[in-house]
Structure 1
Amino acid sequence: MSVFEHPEFDSHEHVAFYHDKPSGLKAIIAVHNTNLGPALGGCRMWPYIDSQEALTDVLRLSKGMTYKSAMANLKLGGGKSVIIGDPRKQKSEDMMLAMGRFVDSLGGKYFTAEDSGIAVGDLKTMATQSKYITGVSAQYHYNNETPDGNPAPSTAYGVFTGLKASVEYALKTDLKGVRVAIQGVGHVGYRLAKHLHEHGAELFVTDIFPEGVERAVQEFGAQAVAPEKLYSLDVDVIAPCALGASINDETLPEIKAKVIAGAANNQLAKETMGEVLRQRGILYAPDYVINAGGVIDIYHQRMTSSSEALRTHIEQIGDTLKEIYQRAESDEKATNIVANVIAEERFNHKA
C-alpha cells in the first residue's frame, strides 16, 4: 500500500522516510499542513510492531498537530516524527545525531520537539546537527519555576485546566472528591495526578511501567488498577495519558465515567465514536484542544514573552473547551466534530 492510499493520509504535504544504517535509525517525518506557519510537532520513539503501525501513528499525529495549533491560535502548522525502536534499549547518541540530520534535511519546513521516548538531552544532541530543533532551551515557566526546555509541565497544566473546566461543565462541581482514572503516569500523567491530588480528587492509576504507578500510589494515595480494568471503573472522569486509540470498540461499551479528558493524542479510534459518546451522555474533551499546553509552551519559548503570558495562554484551554461544549450542545453534534470544524476554518486559509 502506498502512502497516498493509506487510510490516515489526509492531503499531507510531505511524508519522508529515513534509514541510517550505521546508527540503526529508522524514522518517518510527516508534515500535514503549513498554511498557518512551519510545521511543529514532537519526535516520538516507540517499539512499533512494524513500519505500517509507525506510519499510521505519524500520519494521525501530524494531522492532530495542525488542528492543535489552529485551536490554540498559534501561527504554526502540524507535523510529527517517529523513530521505530525501544527507547529504553535501542536509543543511542549516533541515532539522535542521525535524527538531527534527518530533520535538517527538510530545511525548516518541520521543527521537532520532545515526545514519548525522547528527552531534552536527546534534543540537544539532535540540535548539534540542525537549527530546527526546539525545546532545547527555555526562558519561561507557567509557574515561574526554573525552565529546562521540557514542555511536559505545561502540557500537564493545560490538561488539568481543561479537565477542571470539563468537570465544571458536565458535573457542575469542583474537583474535590471527584474520582479520576488516569491511564499512563509518565511525564505528563504524573504531573496531572499531582495537580488533581492537590485539588482533592480521588485517583486511580495504571501504566505499563510499574514504577510510575508505585510513585503515584505513594505520593498521592492513588489506587493502582490493572490496565484492562481502567475503562470499566465506576469513576467520574477517565484521563487517557498514554498512546492513542484507547477509546475503541472494546473499551467504549465499558465506560461508566461522564467525562473523558486526558493528555493522549488521537484518543478516539474512529471519529464516529465521538457521536456515540454524545448519545451516551459522556462529555469528551477533544484531545488536540486539551493537550495543547506543550505546543503553546514551545511557541512562547521561540518569541519574546513572559511566564505570565505563557500561563494565561495555557489557561485559555479551559475557556476554549467550554465554547466547544456550548456549541456542541446547541448544534446537537459531537464535541470532536465541532472542534474539527472550528480548526479547519482557521487552517484552511493561509496566514
Structure 2
Amino acid sequence: MDKEQQGSVESVGTKQQGSVGNEKSIWSEIFIWSLTALGIILVIIAIVMPFKIKNYYEPKIEKYKTIADLGTIGDFIGGTTVAFLTAASVVLLLATIIMQRKEIKISQQSIEELVKQTASSVKQAEEARKETQITNETMKKQQLETTFFNMLSLHHQIVNSIKTTEGYSGREAIENLKEIYENRILKKQYLLDNPTHLPGNWTEYAKEQYLDKILGNDDTINQEVLDEVYKDFHKDYGNDIGHYMRNNYRIVKFIVNNVANDKSEQEKIKKETGREPIIDDKRYYFGMLRSQWSNAEFELILINSLYTENRKFKELILKHDVLDMEETKDKQTSSKVFKLKESMKNFRAYRKLIEVSK
C-alpha cells in the first residue's frame, strides 16, 4: 500500500469515527433534553396537582366551608406531590450529571486537541530549528571554503613572487633555497667532524661524498646545529621566503581553528578561541594544502617548523599530522608518540627532532 492509499484509508477511518461520534452526540443531546423536559413536566404536575385535587373534591365533601375541610385529602396530596418533586429532582439531577459529563468530555477532547497541536507545533519548531541549523552549517562551510581557497590562491601568488639574488623565481627559487640550506647544513656537519680540513670545491664534494652520509642516515642532525644553520639561512634569505612560511602557518592555523572532526572537538575549539568551527574532516583541508606544495616546499616547511623559534608551527604539524608523516601511535603507553613513516626517507636525519611525545 503506497502513501496515497494509506492516507485515503486513514481519511475514511477518520470520517467514519467522526460520523459515529456525531451520532452519539445527537442521541446524547436528545436524552438530556428528554430528561430535562420530563423533570419540568413533573415539577409542573407537582405545582398544578393541589389545585386540581381541590377542584375535584370540593363538590364531593358534605358541609364544605373552608380548605381546612380538605385536611385528610391534603395529606394524601402532599405525599403524592412530594413524590413528583422528588422524581423531578432526581430526573433533573441526572440530566445535570449527564450534561456535566458531556462538558467534561468536551473539555478533555479540547485539551487533547490542544496537546496534539502543541506537540505538532513543537515538532514543527524542532524541524525548523534543524533546517535552520543545517542551513547555517552549509553557509558556514561555504564561507570557510571560500576563505580557504582564497588563501590557497594567495599562496600561489606568493610562490610566483619569490625571487632570489641568484636569479631564480617561483618554485625554482624555492628549489634553489632548499639546496642552499642543505649545502650549509652539510658544511656545518662536515666541519664538526673535520674541524681542521675543508675541501676546496665544497659544493661538488658535498653532493658526491657527504650528502648520503648526513641526510641518508638516522639522527645525524641535532637541534643545536639546525638552529645555528637555519638562523643564518633565515638572516640571509628571510626577506625572500619569510612571508611564504608565515602564510603557510596562517593557513594551517586557520584549518585548526575552524574545522573540527566531531562535536566534542567543536565545543573545545569554541571554548578556547570563541570561534564557531564546522564539523568536517581536517585531513581533507590539510591534504588540499599539501597538494599545492612541491617536494622542495614540503622539505623547507618541515625544516622551518623544526627551528626552535618556530616551535608553535612544529606543535601544530605534529599534533594534527599536517604533513601526513605519522606512522603509528604507541599503544603500550597512555601518551601519544609521533613516529615518522619509513617512507619519509628524506627526513631520517631529523628523526629525533620529529619523533616526540605529544
- Same-fold call, TM cutoff 0.5: no
TM, length-normalised to structure 1? 0.19
TM, length-normalised to structure 2? 0.19
Compare CA radii of gyration and give the structure with the larger one: 2
- Judging by fraction of residues, say which structure has more strand: 1
- Judging by fraction of residues, say which structure has more helix: 2
With a CA cutoff of 8 Å and minimum separation of 6, indicate the structure with the bigger relative contact order: 1
